[in-house]
Amino acid sequence: MRVFVTGGGTGGHLFPAISLGEELAARGYDVHLVTDTRCKGYLKDCALRTHILRLGFMRAGILPKITLAARMLMAISWSIVLLICYRPQVIVGFGGYTAFPMLFAARLLFIPIMLHEQNCFLGKVNDMFARSAVKLALNFAETTNVPTKISKKLVIAGNPVRKEFRDADLPPSDKPKRRSEGLGSSESQETLGSMPEGSKSAMKTLKLLIIGGSQGAKLFSSLVPAALQIIHTKNPNLKISIIQQTKIEDHDILRKIYKDLDMQADIQTFFHNMKELYINADLVICRSGASTIAELIHLAKPAIFIPFPGAAEDHQTFNAKVLESKGAGWMLHQADTTPEMLADTIFDLANDHKKLIRASKKLMELQMPSEQILADAVEEIITN
């Protein structure tokens, strides 16, 4: 039995596809991954048979759009040939315009389609094929702009994380429980140290992890140190350690600022050990892309979200709003956020550890075995 999974452009579309592919392969399926050249760097440890589309980047201007259209037509033709050769039982699309050629070819050849939407706003490609798909899997039930007529096709599956996160070796006190296992009584696990939930004492040391990708590094390099300077003035006895992703030109400036504030800091342009950094952090300051959200939920790590306003359809704001509405995080709008606002939020959480514990437990409630739910849905399509 053969299944094709397709998605790309960004890791947010690719990683869930790989996770589902690995689960299906473990169940004995012949799984093929279709992605594009932009995701080649993420495929180093991928054991799935992979096919690469050469679509390039979607850029502004008439000429780049004409070039992309020509490549898209070639990719559709190539996808048709590929599907005729391999005849998969199901095509699973994970969004991004990389998925379009394979999904379009599947419709022409009457091959069943299943979709997965990682964000809280249905993306353009998924929206195009939602009505013709057999199933539409959602990360959150609150996903907006889902056509009302396809409610019977919906599957709430969460968002699979990369294998390195699924295999995270958490300390016993930090190991999250999947929602399907239940959280038990009020004595369920705490993920942020050993301080009792009823305590409102300040933490001995607040461990901050600041990550933002290319769009967030520059903003956070000015916003976060300014906020921490305000906190230091307000309470110089509050200990804060920092791990921050930033651009190389900001390294020396940030190191000097944090040294002057007597704050331990690790400043890098890129971190290879994200799993360990998440596990050791008390609070994360970050964007709210789908992969980041999924990793935070999986490891039950609370975060202050500052969504990237340039994200397509502003989907990062939708993502952050859902988590904030569930008490699982805090959102600040980039346009409105001042160092004082960020300082107040951090200071409040550092001085009321109970809020971090409560948010961590809310994140635990969102955990689910996503790759298994998706694989079950694929098998249901095949068997029916």
- The end-to-end CA distance of the chain, in Å, is 14
Which has more pLDDT, 151 or 42?
Answer: 151
Do 283 and 378 lie in one domain? The reply is: no
Do 153 and 83 lie in one domain? The reply is: yes
As to burial, measured by CB atoms within 10 angstroms (0-12 exposed, 13-18 middle, 19+ buried), residue 3 is buried
Least trusted range by pLDDT, from 31-35, 98-102, 168-172: 168-172
Do 141 and 207 lie in one domain? The reply is: no
Model confidence pLDDT, tens digit, residues 213-271 = 766 788 999 999 999 999 999 999 999 999 999 999 999 999 999 999 999 999 998 88
Least trusted range by pLDDT, from 176-190, 201-215, 329-343: 176-190
| pTM across the whole model | 0.87
Which has more pLDDT, 51 or 184?
Answer: 51
Mean pLDDT of the chain: 89
Do 27 and 132 lie in one domain? The reply is: yes
- How many Å apart are CA 351 and CA 253, to the nearest integer? 28
Angle among Cα 181, 317, 244 to the nearest 5 degrees reads: 80
Residue 97 confidence (pLDDT) above 90: no
Q: Where does residue 356 fall: left (phi above 0), alpha (psi -120 to 50 degrees), or beta otherwise?
A: alpha
- How many Å apart are CA 50 and CA 40, to the nearest integer? 10
The reported pLDDT for the residue numbered 42 is 82
Helix (H, G, I), strand (E, B) or coil at 145: coil
Residue 192 confidence (pLDDT) above 80: no
Report for 125-139, 158-172, 191-205: range of highest mean pLDDT: 125-139
The reported pLDDT for the residue numbered 191 is 40
Least trusted range by pLDDT, from 71-85, 197-211, 335-349: 197-211
Distance of CA 150 to the CA centre of its chain: 25
Task: Please state the rounded mean pLDDT for residues 70-83.
Answer: 93
Do 309 and 214 lie in one domain? The reply is: yes
Residue 327 confidence (pLDDT) above 90: yes
Do 280 and 342 lie in one domain? The reply is: yes
Do 24 and 126 lie in one domain? The reply is: yes
The reported pLDDT for the residue numbered 182 is 35
Q: For residue 50, give Cα distances in angstroms to 43, 93, 159.
A: 9, 15, 21
Task: Please state the rounded mean pLDDT for residues 134-163.
Answer: 94
The reported pLDDT for the residue numbered 57 is 62
Task: Please state the rounded mean pLDDT for residues 202-212.
Answer: 87
Task: Please state the rounded mean pLDDT for residues 14-34.
Answer: 97
The reported pLDDT for the residue numbered 170 is 53
Model confidence pLDDT, tens digit, residues 122-144 = 999 999 999 999 999 999 999 99
Concatenated DSSP letters of 2-71: EEEEE--SSHHHHHHHHHHHHHHHHTT-EEEEEEEGGGGGG-TT--SEEEEE------SSHHHHHHHHHH
Confidence bin at 168 (pLDDT 50/70/90): low
Do 272 and 322 lie in one domain? The reply is: yes
Do 81 and 198 lie in one domain? The reply is: no
The reported pLDDT for the residue numbered 207 is 97
Which has the closest alpha carbon to 280: 299, 304, 306?
299
Q: Are strands 113-117 and 239-245 parallel, antiparallel or unpaired?
A: unpaired
Distance of CA 352 to the CA centre of its chain: 27
Least trusted range by pLDDT, from 46-55, 103-112, 333-342: 46-55
Cβ–Cβ under 8 Å, residues 329 and 156: no
Model confidence pLDDT, tens digit, residues 278-326 = 999 999 999 999 999 999 999 999 999 999 999 989 999 999 999 999 9
Residue 277 confidence (pLDDT) above 60: yes
Tokens of 206: 């607040």
Least trusted range by pLDDT, from 160-174, 221-235, 362-376: 160-174
Q: Residues in the chain, how many?
A: 384
- DSSP class of 134: S
The reported pLDDT for the residue numbered 135 is 98
The reported pLDDT for the residue numbered 172 is 46
Cβ–Cβ under 8 Å, residues 265 and 242: yes
What's the CATH code of the domain at 139? Answer: 3.40.50.2000
Residue 62 confidence (pLDDT) above 90: no
Residue 156 confidence (pLDDT) above 70: yes
What angle, 0 to 180 degrees and rounded to 10, lies between the N-to-C axes of helices 213-234 and 251-260? 20
Do 306 and 192 lie in one domain? The reply is: yes
Q: In what order do the strands lie in the sheet with 303-305?
A: 264-268, 239-245, 205-210, 283-286, 303-305, 330-331
Number of domains in the chain: 2
Report percent pLDDT > 70 for the chain: 89
Residue 199 confidence (pLDDT) above 80: no
Do 84 and 128 lie in one domain? The reply is: yes
Residue 65 confidence (pLDDT) above 80: no
Could you list the residue range(s) of the whole structural domain that residue 124 is in? 2-158+368-383
Which has the closest alpha carbon to 309: 228, 212, 383?
212
Do 153 and 290 lie in one domain? The reply is: no
Amino acid symbol at 281: A
